Chains A and B, each alone.
Chain A
Amino acid sequence: MMQLIWNGLIVGSFYALVALGYSMVYGIIKLLNFAHGDIYMLGAFVGFFTLSAFGISNETSIPLLLVILLLSMVTTGLIGVGIERVAYRPLRRSPRLAVLITAIGVSFTLEYGVRQIFGPNPEAFPVRLESRGVDLLGMRITASQIVLVVIAAGLMLVLAHIVERTREGRAMRAIALDPQAAQLMGVNVNRVISTVFFIGSSLAGAAGVMAGAYYGSIDFLMGFVIGLKAFTAAVIGGIGNLYGAMLGGVLLGMLESFGSAWFGGEWRDVFAFAFLILFLTFKPTGLLGARVVERM
């Protein structure tokens, strides 16, 4: 039981990190960025590429993992900014469907671009998590698992601080509410949108590296399902809402963990997407979405 919670928490923190970017981008430009899951995949491959270039394999060093994590975050952040600049910004005034289709195109480009470079077969991620651990309250916990969860939580805290307390974060929330009014405050809207893409993409990249180390293998389609899962998490929490994405991610991780334990692992995805459909049907604003009080 406790083990299921712990496993759910780990996987859930990956979902949460990816869902945050999904939700932030949706919040600020109302785009469902279907290429976002592939940024997660890119994060894993940036880590794989760098480590392989240095001839590293089968390492279990945590500091090394942190260095790679940081490097992947910066790289995927910049890639995210580039994608917005090239693919989405020119379509800012176009119908939403056009941008959505473009996002799917970007997703394919990233997936099959990586396939072209690294081939279709799964690769072993060079940094692994050590399997030695301690038994605690009936859970088997390893040090590196704790590191993953702490990093994920730390990243979320930093993000929450940026969005809630800083000038840039206020500008992000202002754009989400009324881009033109934000511009009248002197906000350079395009620059702030780029910042959001950087942050969102780097969080997804971080999750990709962490997942590479956690599962041990990576492939060019690994972002597809997690993209959908992160979307599900964002919807459960209330899309556009930061804490919603975190809550939704962890909740979805738990649901899957318990779902596969009770009904068998093959039902895991069915479980997740059934919840997506339930939420979209009965509570499309999610758990924390749309608490808007307005009076004119």
Chain B
Amino acid sequence: MSALEVRDADVYYGRVHALRRLSFDVGEGEIVCLLGNNGAGKSTTMNMLSGLVRPRSGSATWNGMDLTTAKPWNIVADGLIHVPEGRRIFSTMTVHENLLLGGYTVRDKRVVGERLDRVYETMPRLAERRRQQGGTLSGGEQQMVAIGRAIVGGPRLLLLDEPSMGLAPLVVKQVMEIIAAVNAQGTTVLLVEQNARAALKIAHRAYVVETGAVTLSGTAAELARDPRVVEAYLGA
């Protein structure tokens, strides 16, 4: 059974038709990747799932929760956590405070403490910089803070929007390793990427999204070999 089910979702920004009957599934424990160019509707999809934009028609359900009507804070509290494009670190707050904010919906302080310890353990770079302002970190470190912030929230489904954006290839590799590790510990992942090569290495399945609709889908291995994907997204 799928954890996340999106069916025929239509999203409009004014007159712009951003998602056109978009459908896809994410199964429990999977890493699923949405591939596509700028403006294909990937971020809109993410924003729809976290309740920031509402579809005009269609459905999006996650473990029985109707994401098209649920309040954004209830979605987060239920473990669907969205790491937005551009990381959106709170720039004048410290790394530690950024991570604490990730646990905003977690009532039990002890649980927050345990998760913080785990984040600092898996990303020791953040432990070194815990008193530093978020805005002073490098892009890769900021991405780690963004992912760490989500982990403190206790994600069951993690939405990651362009985590590799603007990062050096070596750092992209590190970030992808962190994502794979989070997944290995039981968190389902929906990954949006333009960097198809990096994403397909860790994803189980993928969908290609063009102008707001799915045009291709399959396992990561299948898509990595598909000539249409190779030509459009992997560069021959």
Q: Does B104 contact A (CB under 8 A)?
A: yes
Whole-angstrom distance between the Cβ of B120 and the nearest chain A Cβ: 18
Interface size on A, residues (CB 8 A): 22
A168-223 at interface with B (beta carbon < 8 Å)? 170-171, 173-174, 177-178, 180-188
State whether A185 and B76 are in contact (beta carbons under 8 Å apart), knowing that A292-B135, A293-B133 are contacts in the complex.
yes
Q: Are A295 and B50 in contact (CB under 8 A)?
A: no
Give the distance in Å from the alpha carbon of A186 to the alpha carbon of B139 in the complex: 24
Whole-angstrom distance between the Cβ of A59 and the nearest chain B Cβ: 45
Whole-angstrom distance between the Cβ of A68 and the nearest chain B Cβ: 36
Q: Does A266 contact B (CB under 8 A)?
A: no
Whole-angstrom distance between the Cβ of B81 and the nearest chain A Cβ: 8
Q: Are A181 and B72 in contact (CB under 8 A)?
A: no
Chain B residues within an 8 Å CB radius of A292: 91-92, 135
Binary B-proximity of A234-275 (CB < 8 A = 1, otherwise 0): 000000000000000000000000000000000000000000
Q: Are B76 and A177 in contact (CB under 8 A)?
A: no
Whole-angstrom distance between the Cβ of B119 and the nearest chain A Cβ: 15
Q: Are A186 and B52 in contact (CB under 8 A)?
A: no
State whether A170 and B52 are in contact (beta carbons under 8 Å apart), knowing that A178-B88, A292-B91, A292-B135 are contacts in the complex.
no
Chain A residues within an 8 Å CB radius of B88: 178, 180-181, 184
Of B52, B73, B91, B93, the contact of A294 (CB 8 Å cutoff): B91
Q: Does B97 contact A (CB under 8 A)?
A: yes
Q: Are A173 and B93 in contact (CB under 8 A)?
A: yes
Chain B residue nearest to A188 (CB atoms) is B73
Binary A-proximity of B98-118 (CB < 8 A = 1, otherwise 0): 001110110000000000000
Whole-angstrom distance between the Cβ of A166 and the nearest chain B Cβ: 11
Of B73, B101, B133, B139, the contact of A296 (CB 8 Å cutoff): B139
Chain B residues within an 8 Å CB radius of A187: 73, 101, 104
Q: Does B77 contact A (CB under 8 A)?
A: yes
Give the distance in Å from the alpha carbon of A293 to the alpha carbon of B137 in the complex: 10
Q: Are B52 and A180 in contact (CB under 8 A)?
A: yes
Q: Does B149 contact A (CB under 8 A)?
A: yes
Of A170, A177, A183, A296, the contact of B100 (CB 8 Å cutoff): A170
Chain A residue nearest to B166 (CB atoms) is A296
Q: Are A186 and B104 in contact (CB under 8 A)?
A: yes
A128-149 at interface with B (beta carbon < 8 Å)? none
Give the distance in Å from the alpha carbon of A214 to the alpha carbon of B102 in the complex: 45
Give the distance in Å from the alpha carbon of A292 to the alpha carbon of B93 in the complex: 10
Chain A residue nearest to B105 (CB atoms) is A186
Give the distance in Å from the alpha carbon of A181 to the alpha carbon of B52 in the complex: 10
Give the distance in Å from the alpha carbon of A174 to the alpha carbon of B103 in the complex: 13
State whether A171 and B101 are in contact (beta carbons under 8 Å apart), knowing that A183-B72, A186-B153 are contacts in the complex.
yes
Q: Are A174 and B93 in contact (CB under 8 A)?
A: yes
Whole-angstrom distance between the Cβ of A91 and the nearest chain B Cβ: 19
Chain A residue nearest to B46 (CB atoms) is A184
Of A174, A181, A293, the contact of B84 (CB 8 Å cutoff): A181
Q: Are B76 and A184 in contact (CB under 8 A)?
A: yes
Binary A-proximity of B59-82 (CB < 8 A = 1, otherwise 0): 000000000000111011100011
Give the distance in Å from the alpha carbon of A296 to the alpha carbon of B91 in the complex: 10
Chain B residues within an 8 Å CB radius of A291: 92
The residue among B73, B81, B82, B105 with the most chain A CB atoms within 10 A of its own CB is B73
Interface residues of B (CB under 8 A from A): 50, 52, 71-73, 75-77, 81-84, 88-93, 97, 100-102, 104-105, 133, 135-139, 149, 153, 166
- Listed from nearest, the 10 A-B pairs whose CB atoms lie closest are A186-B76, A186-B105, A181-B88, A294-B135, A186-B73, A188-B73, A177-B90, A185-B104, A185-B101, A186-B104
Interface residues of A (CB under 8 A from B): 167, 170-171, 173-174, 177-178, 180-188, 291-296
Q: List 28 A-B contacts (CB under 8 A).
A: A167-B100, A170-B93, A170-B100, A170-B104, A171-B101, A171-B104, A174-B90, A174-B101, A177-B91, A177-B92, A180-B88, A183-B52, A183-B72, A184-B72, A184-B82, A184-B88, A185-B101, A185-B105, A186-B75, A186-B76, A187-B73, A188-B71, A188-B73, A293-B135, A294-B91, A294-B136, A296-B139, A296-B166
- 13 further A-B contacts with Cβ under 8 Å, apart from A185-B76, A186-B75, are A173-B90, A174-B93, A177-B90, A178-B90, A184-B50, A184-B88, A185-B102, A187-B73, A187-B101, A187-B104, A188-B71, A188-B73, A292-B92
